[in-house]
Structure 1
Amino acid sequence: MNMTRSFARGLLLTTCLALPGASAWAQASQPSDSPDAAVQDQTIVVSGRRAADRAALESKRDSDAQVDQIRADDVGRLPDQNVAETLRRLPGLSVANDQGEGRYLTVRGVSPDLLNVTLNGQTAAAPEPDSRQVKLDDIPSALIGAVTVSKTVTPDMDANAIAGAANIETVTAFDRKGTFGSVRGAIGKYDLNGKHPYEMDASLGTKFGAYDQFGIVLAFNYSNREFEAQNVQSGGHWEEVNGEFVPLEQTVRDYHTRRQRYGAVANFDWRPTDEAKIFARFLYSKYKDRESRPGFTIELDEDEITNQTATSGDFAEAETERALRSREEDSDTLTASFGGEFDLGPNWLSVEGSYTRANKRDPHRDEISFTGEGLTGSYDLSESMPVFHADASAFDPTGYEFDETSYEHRRAREDLYQARADFRTPIAIGDDSSIKIGVKYTKRRKTNDADAVVYDGYDGDFTMDEVEGVPISSVFDGRYPFGPTIDRPSADAFFASNFDNFELDEEGTVGDSLAGDYLIREKIFAAYAMATLKAGDFTAIPGVRMEKTKSDYAAKSVLDSSTVADLDKDYDSFGSQNYTDWFPGLNLRWDASRSLVLRAAVTRAIGRPNYEQLAPTTIVNTGDNEVDSGNPDLQPLTSTNYDVAAEYYIGSKGIISIAGFYKTISNPIYSATTVQTGTFAGQALVDAQVTQPVNADSAFVKGLELNAQTELSFLPSPLDGFSIGGSITFVKSRAKGIPGRDGERLPLANQSNRVASAYLSYEKYGLSARIAYTYRSAYLLEPGDDTNSDLYVGAFNQWDARIGYDVVKNLTIFLEGSNLNDEPYRAYQGIPSRIDEVERYGYSVKTGIQFKF
């Protein structure tokens, strides 16, 4: 932490900011009533971060909907690994993390499942097998030209946008003047394991041919990160014992992960005339994750807890487990799109078609565990994290006997075909008024296939010392002693040499192999009509969109009678849906003055259920009279959205804005267990306990966004190089009709009550520096059976910084730091003092060099 503080102080003393990224050039004309009236009618050339900020503000000002944007230089100016981490700095946005990296984007407190993510205007595919949310950590930030988040939608946008829409754009040759390019390399260090991450990227764009009618941009990115994460959790097992809540389980884990990202962009443009723009866009991204996760678990028997106080106690006859999980994950996405825009006299036509293939392959998801029993010790709840103190037998590998091993692999794939056409024609009402119509066809094919083999017995003696690995002394700075680990190669070699002595767990093998298999086909035909009506300073966009959805689903049933002979069986459980929805909408804009823009909107949107929820998987346990199943009859979520905003622009240099929003949501989805009598996968059951996703009654989300940013160019030199900005969003949501929680209203999952960000930056004399802060409050992760078992993710705040210096023209060296305050991930059960999980990643620093032209 001393290194962290020194780094942060150094950045602050140099008045921190940092913009990485290729320098963008922009031109801004100052309005006559702006603070810069003295330079009226002059063209001011600005480069670097300020150019990117001004361009983003101009895009926001010119938009007829409520949007926020980050431009190319802005995307690269902080130590952001991916698009999600970049976007969390915009008003009202936060991210869900995975081992310290941003992965999914949450807009105004609405689940990432309900955010429409597009790539160059076309729907992005989701490699994940269980949900529709797009993993934004697959897309390196170095390949991005701009990202626009639309918080209100217009009829020409997909209606699958209850949370809004995020459009990721890659750079084209016609976005810049002349030939441009950059080469960048960086190497760093991680706090916890001392490993050195490194990354590199390069880009080149140019126009050529007669009258520069052809354009090409090529970009490449590679990064390699080997990091450690330390984790302790209770697994949701806080229970009331003798009137006091006690965590009956504690698992300590030490993650060792290597993540590699590859990315490439190839964009081609042809503009044979001023009236025709023809393009081809290609993007390929690959994400590889290799993880080794040793774990040490102590599970208490509540009847063997003695000497209890509110914060301590002794235990006996506890069970222990030593486990090792080895996982490989490969995801890759290929997108190809072709189209053109044509000015047809007063009319305009756009046509486009695209294909996206998203693969997620897990070649290995293997686990082996050994168990022990009869452990004694004590627990301590007096500090911020619970601690179990175990006797010496917990650290003796000879006391752990083989329990179970599993070998699993799976693959998910999504093929997405899209075609659209949009036509606009002017009308005679006011200046620039028009009518726009269009159609879009989307065809999706999603599959998931898992195969597993589980062994839960061994004929003979097999103890952990026979496959012992390098011990781990402790984690969390000595707070949690760890001890012996399992060596994966030794375990695999032992298994191969003694294969005949292992006992197959047929039920586990069949269940793990069949329960996740499904095939989903979905076709969506959409058509819309909208008008853009301009009368002086007033703009109205009324319109309506229609989307017809036709889907069919196939999965597999798992019965008590299922055997390994059924592993290759075809789908035998089916479902389908066919529905049509209408989405009227109205967006209003009033330019009250040259600086003040007022907006309002009333829109409708839809959120289709996740793939895993729709898949008609049926698992029947006749012995326990229980059924677990998907629900192909789930209704989609729908919302009515009310938005207002006021934006005051400080010339082209800043903005002060306030926005209010209110969403009513029908049919939110939760898991429920009900008593049913019927036939399930051919099995007749009476009063069976059936667990499946169901629609609840309704929910609402409301909130207020405040945002301000400006260049401090009015200060005397050299202080005029400073810029400052910040935003805070207040959100409240409630859902009713949640199964098992009669009469209660709970927040929506993943919704923080407050989201905030702030930055201070400096750019002058070749120096660029920035320090940034992001914050989100706690949010509900998963409802439990009651308030004591609700699982929350705790508040999170993070400091990042970067400083760069132009050694010579076009050559920059930089130093940056991420998570400088060593902020961990926290989760708790019911109330914040019942810590369920803490995971720390430490800070990281990185230095590099960039050449750009």
Structure 2
Amino acid sequence: MSNLAIVPGYSLAQETEPPAPARSTDVTELETVSVTGRRAADRLAIDDKRYADGQVDAIRADDVGKLPDQNVAESVRRLPGISTVNDQGEGRYLTVRGVSPDLLNVTLNGQTSPAPEPDGRQVKLDDIPSGLIGAVTVSKTLTPDMDANAIAGQVNIETLSAFDREGTFGTASAAYGYNDLSGEHPYEFDGSLGGRFGADDQFGAVVAINYSDRKLGTQNVQNTGDWIDVDGQIVPEGIDLRQYNTHRQRSGAVANFDWRPNEDTKAFLRFVYSKYQDSETRDRYGIEFDEDGITPADASSGTFTDGEAFRALRTREEDTSTFTTSAGAEFKFDESKLNFELTYSRANKRDPHRDEWGFVQGDVTGQYQLGSDSYTVTPDNDAVYDSSLYEPDFYEPESRHAVEDLYQARIDYMMPMAVGDGSDLQFGAKYLDRKKTNDGNGEAWEYAGGPLTLADVAGGNIGSIFHGRYPFGPTINGPAADDYFNNHPDEFEEDMDGTLSTSLAGDYRINEKIYAAYVMGRLRFGDFMVIPGVRMERTEGQYAANSFELGVSTLDQPFNSFGGRSYTDWFPGINVRYDVSENVVIRAAATRAIGRPNYESLAPFTEIEDAADDEPAVTQGNPNLKPLYSNNFDLATEFYVGNRGVVSAAVFYKQIDNPIYEVTLDGQDGNFGGLDLINAEVGSWTNAESATVKGLELNAQYELSFLPSPFDGFSVSGNVTFVDSEAEGLPSRDDKVPLLNQSDRVASAQISYEKYGLSARIGYTYRSAALNEASEDDPDADIYQDDYGQWDARVSYACTSNLTVFLEGSNLNDEAMRTYVGYRNRMGEKEIYGYTVRTGLQYKF
């Protein structure tokens, strides 16, 4: 028989919370009925949702200890209201109910997770292999014991404890696959071992490891610039074809140690390490039009002259590692409980090189043909495929290094209250100290003259991409081009402005400290539970960066621009839960949250280009950005059928002050980086006035166990979320725009079967179009991510009680990523990834 324990997400009071009327029945059912695999995981996830203080959704690893998706982001996207921001076909960041990933609080075992990216607060969830996690809980409403930096909500990733299972246990799995676009074979393996030992099994230990290796092939076509008006027709400025060859390796380890000498004392020590390595070559070929040479024939076709063909190669390496260690203890004193925890995390992101070569060829003529989805450009002759006709244009080697150190301490105390039936009072404090640095270094070289052509450093020849639609031609051999540069330095001239900009503009040092304290109650009155409370957070930030003028400043200058902000905020909130009956729960919440600006936008850098021109260009950070504040209102109804199914509906509304957008303003007069400038073009970040997010979330999940055998093994689930958002108060725009990355519709559906050792699932995830970038003053120039729908499937068979064989496939419909500018027929870019299939074995004991 399976003995499956309910392990809720982090809450100091949940072990002492009196059970709801249906809870004991559900637990007994789990302990007396043999339930394993996906159904067991789904039942536990339903229990997580049912007994949580606020509105949550959860996923659980199955009893083999492994989720069937590549990383955490891809697993969580199947929950209601969740979509992913992808990178080359893989989920990377999460968007919850239409709110940007940088406003989502990601925690690891209840503590804030570090963000390795240098430009934002969003946590990369493709760094964390799915094989290392036990559960993920998405909290859509906040309680005062949670960080307030969670306008989008909170995602908590839990690793496995030895006390989550009985006895000694272990797992091992291995998989081998095929990607149809690259023709390569991804593989991975993972394993875990855990158990209890010592007198009365008071000690517990779990160790888990994971490694995956994927070689991806990605193909991309995009506009080289904007869509422009030529003789009354809207046409692109050229075409840019890209072939990516990417090698991604993930590895990780978890080591969790627990000591429980008695029922009143618990202590733990946690270690989590993940490593993400990404190496890539990007071959480019394209033709850039001369606007004066474009001659439209009609609305969908035309010719061009005086175009410029280009071929480029970018090679890059990325090495990201994240390490987290935490120690803590919990003590019970009669009916009171004290909990404390210390955590240290480091995210280390190195890009040893991000180098790019470019070659060009002029006087290109040809035709273009527009379509509803994409377009083609056909040159008049084969000269663009002759490598000997391309001359060197530029060479730009670059590297960067970002580090985030995160120190955290928290203490929580819970005590009973003589109010209602089983009420309690909880209060606590948290300290967070974040140190973030980014250091970029680069050079910009132009070709001064000599005999070099692309033919001298040519690589292989790519026949075509997009299944033969776009001929490609010769590529650049990176090592050969680098050798030529090293052996012929006299043929190259350094662009000092480009070197200065690459090496100084992105550098910053940020130190941010947050002091928090809270008090909250859980007041129980029969079938009602009310959780009122308030949280205080004091934020102190100090920022350092570079202010420089191209052509004047030097590479060795120290940080010379400084800023800082300190502010104290109060976050009152109330959550209400009403158990209408044994199976119906109504929840309501009114809460307040904060969203702190991204690091890149806060860094007080100033870059000035062409200061003596009539229209100097300025790019700068804004340390005076205001935080975002959100008032959140949520109402949900949940109907449970034991722990076999749930039907729920939720409405939500967020009123957000000070949303942040990146803007460029013309005709600006003022002092920039110590220089008085007139009529400058200034790019920076600014606060808009306000925004709203509102929506409806519907969810249903049910085991069809009432059907006659063998059909009683089927389960179905589906969810859809309708969202609408709008922001106003952007400079130079009097209209309302959506929030970035917000889709109007997000949905997923799954059909699964589990019986006789067979487990199968087919799933579909969908998100509608979302705004990627808002134009300065023209809605027709807004860039949108087009809608995206993906089919995935998995089937496994338990050959024995210990051994399972499986086959799975992702993106089986070969869905493409696509952006458009203003209108769907104006393609920004389109990218395809192909499908991936994997087969493997899983072993457990």
TM-score of the superposition, structure 2-length normalised? 0.96
Aligned to 1:7: none
Out of 94, 98, 107, which is 1:105 matched to? 94
Out of 772, 788, 806, which is 1:814 matched to? 806
Going from structure 1 to structure 2, the CA distance change for 1:103 and 1:176 (only over 3 Å counts) comes to: same
**1:641: Cα distance to partner?**
0.1
Moved more, 185-194 or 45-54: 45-54
Aligned to 1:10: none
Q: How does 1:173-192 map to 2 (within 5 A)?
A: 173-192=162-181
* Counterpart check, 1:227 vs 2:213: no
Moved more, 329-338 or 232-241: 232-241
Out of 345, 352, 360, which is 2:334 matched to? 345
* Counterpart check, 1:774 vs 2:765: yes
Aligned to 2:457: 467
Three-state SS of the structure 1 residue aligned to 2:825 is: coil
Q: Which runs of 5+ in 1 are unaligned?
A: 1-22
**1:459: Cα distance to partner?**
3.2
* Counterpart check, 1:665 vs 2:656: yes
Q: Percent identity?
A: 58
**1:684: Cα distance to partner?**
2.1
Aligned to 1:137: 126
1:31–1:651 contact (8 Å) kept in structure 2: no
**1:24: Cα distance to partner?**
8.3
Q: Which runs of 5+ in 2 are unaligned?
A: 8-18
CA distance in 2, matches of 1:605, 1:341: 28
Aligned to 1:679: 671
* Counterpart check, 1:271 vs 2:263: no
- Write the letter of the residue equivalent to 1:801: A
Out of 416, 419, 442, which is 1:426 matched to? 416
2:66–2:130 contact (8 Å) kept in structure 1: no
**1:548: Cα distance to partner?**
0.3
Could you say what the CA RMSD is over the residues aligned between the two structures, in angstroms?
1.8
Going from structure 1 to structure 2, the CA distance change for 1:750 and 1:269 (only over 3 Å counts) comes to: same
- Write the letter of the residue equivalent to 1:413: V
**1:154: Cα distance to partner?**
0.3
Going from structure 1 to structure 2, the CA distance change for 1:737 and 1:307 (only over 3 Å counts) comes to: closer
**1:303: Cα distance to partner?**
1.7
1:630-669 CA-to-partner distances (Å, cap 9, x unmatched) read: 0000000000000000000011100000000000000001
**1:78: Cα distance to partner?**
6.0
Aligned to 1:19: none
Aligned to 2:525: 535
1:719-755 CA-to-partner distances (Å, cap 9, x unmatched) read: 111100100000000000112212x001111000000
Going from structure 1 to structure 2, the CA distance change for 1:42 and 1:498 (only over 3 Å counts) comes to: closer
- Write the letter of the residue equivalent to 1:353: L
Aligned to 2:11: none
Out of 58, 77, 81, which is 2:70 matched to? 81
2:224–2:237 contact (8 Å) kept in structure 1: no
Three-state SS of the structure 2 residue aligned to 1:663 is: strand
**1:398: Cα distance to partner?**
1.4
Out of 413, 419, 422, which is 2:403 matched to? 413
* Counterpart check, 1:611 vs 2:602: no
2:808–2:837 contact (8 Å) kept in structure 1: yes
CA distance in 2, matches of 1:236, 1:788: 14
Aligned to 2:13: none
1:248-306 CA-to-partner distances (Å, cap 9, x unmatched) read: 12100000000000100000000111101100110000000000000012111222122
Three-state SS of the structure 1 residue aligned to 2:497 is: helix
CA distance in 2, matches of 1:485, 1:834: 28
Moved more, 143-152 or 46-55: 46-55
Aligned to 1:402: 392
1:156-198 CA-to-partner distances (Å, cap 9, x unmatched) read: 0000000000000000000011111100000000111211000
1:26–1:46 contact (8 Å) kept in structure 2: no
**1:236: Cα distance to partner?**
4.7
Q: Point out which structure has higher relative CO (alpha carbons under 8 A, 6+ apart).
A: 1
CA distance in 2, matches of 1:383, 1:779: 19
1:510-534 CA-to-partner distances (Å, cap 9, x unmatched) read: 1110001000000000000111100
**1:382: Cα distance to partner?**
3.3
Q: How does 1:51-66 map to 2 (within 5 A)?
A: 51-66=40-55
**1:627: Cα distance to partner?**
1.8
* Counterpart check, 1:650 vs 2:637: no
1:38-78 CA-to-partner distances (Å, cap 9, x unmatched) read: x9898333111111111111111111100000011199776
- Write the letter of the residue equivalent to 1:597: V
Out of 800, 804, 828, which is 2:796 matched to? 804
Out of 820, 837, 842, which is 1:845 matched to? 837
Out of 408, 417, 432, which is 1:442 matched to? 432
Three-state SS of the structure 2 residue aligned to 1:139 is: coil
Three-state SS of the structure 1 residue aligned to 2:383 is: helix
- Write the letter of the residue equivalent to 1:679: N
Aligned to 1:510: 500
Going from structure 1 to structure 2, the CA distance change for 1:40 and 1:278 (only over 3 Å counts) comes to: closer
2:805–2:841 contact (8 Å) kept in structure 1: yes
* Counterpart check, 1:567 vs 2:555: yes
1:312–1:382 contact (8 Å) kept in structure 2: no
**1:431: Cα distance to partner?**
1.7
1:385-426 CA-to-partner distances (Å, cap 9, x unmatched) read: 100001311111111111000111100000000000001111
* Counterpart check, 1:196 vs 2:185: yes
CA distance in 1, matches of 2:165, 2:318: 37
* Counterpart check, 1:580 vs 2:568: yes
- Write the letter of the residue equivalent to 1:64: D
Out of 755, 779, 790, which is 1:787 matched to? 779
Three-state SS of the structure 1 residue aligned to 2:33 is: strand
Aligned to 2:237: 248
Aligned to 1:8: none
Three-state SS of the structure 1 residue aligned to 2:559 is: coil
Three-state SS of the structure 2 residue aligned to 1:52 is: helix
CA distance in 2, matches of 1:472, 1:641: 52
1:736-792 CA-to-partner distances (Å, cap 9, x unmatched) read: 0112212x0011110000000000001111100100010000101001131211100
1:778–1:795 contact (8 Å) kept in structure 2: yes
Aligned to 2:747: 756
CA distance in 1, matches of 2:681, 2:794: 55
CA distance in 2, matches of 1:76, 1:380: 52
Three-state SS of the structure 1 residue aligned to 2:445 is: strand
CA distance in 2, matches of 1:669, 1:214: 49
Moved more, 210-219 or 451-460: 451-460
Three-state SS of the structure 2 residue aligned to 1:838 is: strand
CA distance in 1, matches of 2:728, 2:587: 31
Aligned pair count? 825
Q: How does 1:593-604 map to 2 (within 5 A)?
A: 593-604=581-592
Three-state SS of the structure 2 residue aligned to 1:470 is: strand
- Write the letter of the residue equivalent to 1:793: Q
Moved more, 142-151 or 68-77: 68-77
Going from structure 1 to structure 2, the CA distance change for 1:296 and 1:531 (only over 3 Å counts) comes to: same
Three-state SS of the structure 1 residue aligned to 2:476 is: coil
1:10-61 CA-to-partner distances (Å, cap 9, x unmatched) read: xxxxxxxxxxxxx984589x99989x99x98983331111111111111111
CA distance in 1, matches of 2:507, 2:286: 31
Aligned to 2:80: 91
